[in-house]
């Protein structure tokens, strides 16, 4: 197993900092990446941070995580609510997958209130802005070091 955690970001997250700052804040994706890299160094982990606006590319990266990642943090953006392909790719992973949303999807439009990825992810961190990424990294580090990492999914229902 590797000590690399994939951090995958979906559509329009490349526009953070300028896209609807009253909703998504003013931090850029690069700002969040730097924050995560600093935390990862302290945890003695490597990050592979990526962003794509294309669903198939995200699926390919999730498939790549099978061989190259000890955990995945994913903010699939709008695809979290609509992509069965991403859901299936997450479900296929034996490593912990933690879903992140910057905003509280339950306090937004009705179509955003369901996450297909949340149904199969180990956990979801929603509505805490950039802090959610740090919490996801801490959780991934904890899960990778514990016995639960090999199981991928929680045994508590």
Q: Which domain holds residue 70?
A: 4-149
List, in sequence order, every beta strand (DSSP E) within 45-92: 46-51, 71-75
In a domain, 124, yes or no: yes
Structural domain contains residue 20: yes
In 3D space, the residue among 17, 23, 22 whose CA is nearest the CA of residue 51 turns out to be 17
Reference 42, options 141, 129, 130; nearest CA is: 141
Output helix, strand, coil percentages for the chain, rounded to the nearest 5.
45, 15, 35
pLDDT digits (tens, 9 = 90+) for 10-43: 999 998 888 877 777 788 999 999 999 999 999 9
We report the CATH number of the domain holding residue 130 as: 3.40.50.9100
The band of 80, judged by pLDDT with boundaries at 50, 70 and 90, is very high
Flag whether 157 is in a domain.
no
With a threshold of 0.85, does the pTM exceed it?
yes
Residue numbers annotated as active site: 24, 101
Residue 154: inside a domain: no
Question: Residue 32: inside a domain, yes or no?
Answer: yes
Confidence (pLDDT) at 2: 67
Q: Would residue 129 count as lying in a domain?
A: yes
The total of structural domains in the chain comes to 1
**Residue at 121 is within a domain:** yes
Please name the helix (run of DSSP H) or strand (run of DSSP E) that holds residue 136, with its range, or none.
helix 131-145
Is 156 within a domain?
A: no
Q: With bands split at pLDDT 50, 70 and 90, how would you rate the model's confidence at 149?
A: very low
Say which residue the tokens 């929680």 belong to.
154
């Amino acid at each position: 197993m590797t000590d690399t955690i994939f951090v995958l970001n979906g559509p329009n997250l490349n526009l953070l900092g300028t896209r609807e700052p009253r909703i998504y804040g003013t931090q850029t994706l690069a700002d969040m990446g730097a924050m995560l890299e600093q935390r990862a160094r302290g945890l003695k982990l490597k990050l592979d941070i990526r962003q794509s606006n294309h669903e198939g590319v995200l699926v390919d990266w999730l498939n790549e995580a099978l061989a190259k990642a000890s955990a995945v943090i994913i903010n699939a953006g709008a695809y979290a609510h609509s992509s069965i392909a991403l859901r299936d790719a997450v479900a296929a992973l034996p490593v912990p997958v933690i879903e992140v949303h910057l905003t509280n999807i339950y306090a937004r439009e009705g179509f955003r209130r369901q996450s297909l990825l949340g149904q199969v992810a180990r956990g979801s961190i929603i509505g805490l802005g950039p802090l959610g990424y740090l919490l996801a990294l801490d959780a991934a580090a904890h899960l990778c070091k514990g016995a639960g990492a090999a199981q991928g999914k929680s045994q508590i229902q």
